[in-house]
Amino acid sequence: MKVTEHIANAKGETLFSFEIVPPVKGKNIQELYNNIDPLMEFKPPFIDVTTSREEYVFIEKDGLFEKKVTRLRPGTLGICASLQHKYNVDTVPHVLCGGFTKEETEYLLVDCQYLGIENVMALRGDAMKGEKYFTPTKGGNCYAVELVEQIQNLNQGKFLLEQIQTENTPEFCIGVAGYPEKHMEAPSLQSDLKRLKEKVDAGADYVVTQMFFDNKKYFEFVNAAREMGITVPIIPGIKPLAVQRHLSILPQVFWIDLPQDLIDAVEKCNTNKDVRQVGIEWCIEQSKQLKAAGVPVLHYYSMGKSDNIKAIAAAIF
């Protein structure tokens, strides 16, 4: 079932969903199951599975270092298929511009159709590790709006090299990212909202926001988006703080602000266990307020760990 259909069927009730990261190469999927199992009691209608772009590694060969391309966390599509089979839940694979040609993207989407996957999250992706700015892959999409357009073309039977007349063309429900505190590369929030409007006009069906820790940022973002004519569901993405270094890492990586009350509470902690509890309590209050406001879904960035997400969900759902 499509994400938008899950939202419509909920008839105003706030749904619970979360996002997982594939295990690194060499890890067993059982560890992933062990972290998902405790969350299934809250009946998530869908689970997002992230993907990663390629990165360079240097391998020593004959006394010299040879540059090779690798992927640290492959297997997104396989994990999606496994989760659908094991839990009877819809999955949302993340599809990136960076690291993939348009042909590779088409093959991925065709595989999604074969597997009965109806939802995809269309993202530009980050710069390659070690590079400051995003560089498009040769033969790939440069921006998320182009990726949305490619997916919509497939929905209409328009493949890269041919148009197929069939009743079995894909009907992907397309999610895209939104940034309550603007994308780090955008010159202004208004400019960033224009880019979001372009993605929606190209065929995006819903928006999931980047993490935020001040609900006011989300509400203002939604109001501004509505004023611009963006009418699709806007799902808040939430991440509980878990370790002390999140105070410095999250603002650096995601260009977000943390509320001073949260900073003060974390700085008083003596251990990361204390920080984790502060993160849980803050996230519970965030979630209560968002749910009371009638958000369609509370979407949690779990990063593959479930203990804190379970504690939050138990207090909300």
Say how many domains are in the chain: 1
- How many C-beta atoms lie closer than 10 Å to residue 68's C-beta? 12
Reference 298, options 206, 239, 253, 236; nearest CA is: 236
State residue 126's pLDDT score. 84
State residue 131's pLDDT score. 77
Say yes or no to pLDDT of 214 above 90. Answer: yes
Q: 4-8, 52-56, 228-232, 301-305: which has the minimum mean pLDDT?
A: 52-56
State residue 66's pLDDT score. 58
Render pLDDT for 170-193 as a digit per residue (tens, 0 to 9).
Answer: 899 999 999 999 999 999 999 999
The 3-state DSSP class for residue 99 equals coil
Mean pLDDT within 6-12: 97
Residue whose tokens read 């900073």: 263
Mean pLDDT within 57-77: 61
In sequence order, what are the beta bridge partners of 69?
Answer: 56
Say yes or no to pLDDT of 56 above 90. Answer: no
Say yes or no to pLDDT of 128 above 90. Answer: no
Domain of residue 266: give its range.
3-316
Residue whose tokens read 């209050």: 285
Report, as residue numbers or ranges, the catalytic residues: 19
Render pLDDT for 89-125 as a digit per residue (tens, 0 to 9).
Answer: 999 999 999 989 999 999 999 999 999 999 999 999 9
Helices (DSSP H) in 75-133: which residue ranges? Answer: 76-87, 102-114
Q: CATH number, domain at 17?
A: 3.20.20.220
Mean pLDDT within 33-58: 87
Could you tell me the CA-to-CA distances from 71 to 29, 36, 95, 100, 305 in Å, in that order? Answer: 17, 23, 14, 12, 21
| pLDDT confidence band for 71 (50 / 70 / 90) | low
Say yes or no to pLDDT of 206 above 70. Answer: yes
Residue-wise over 70-107: b if at least 16 C-beta within 10 A, else e? ebeeebbbebbbbbbeebebbbbbbbbbbbbebeebbe
Q: How many residues would you count in the chain? A: 317
Say yes or no to pLDDT of 70 above 60. Answer: no
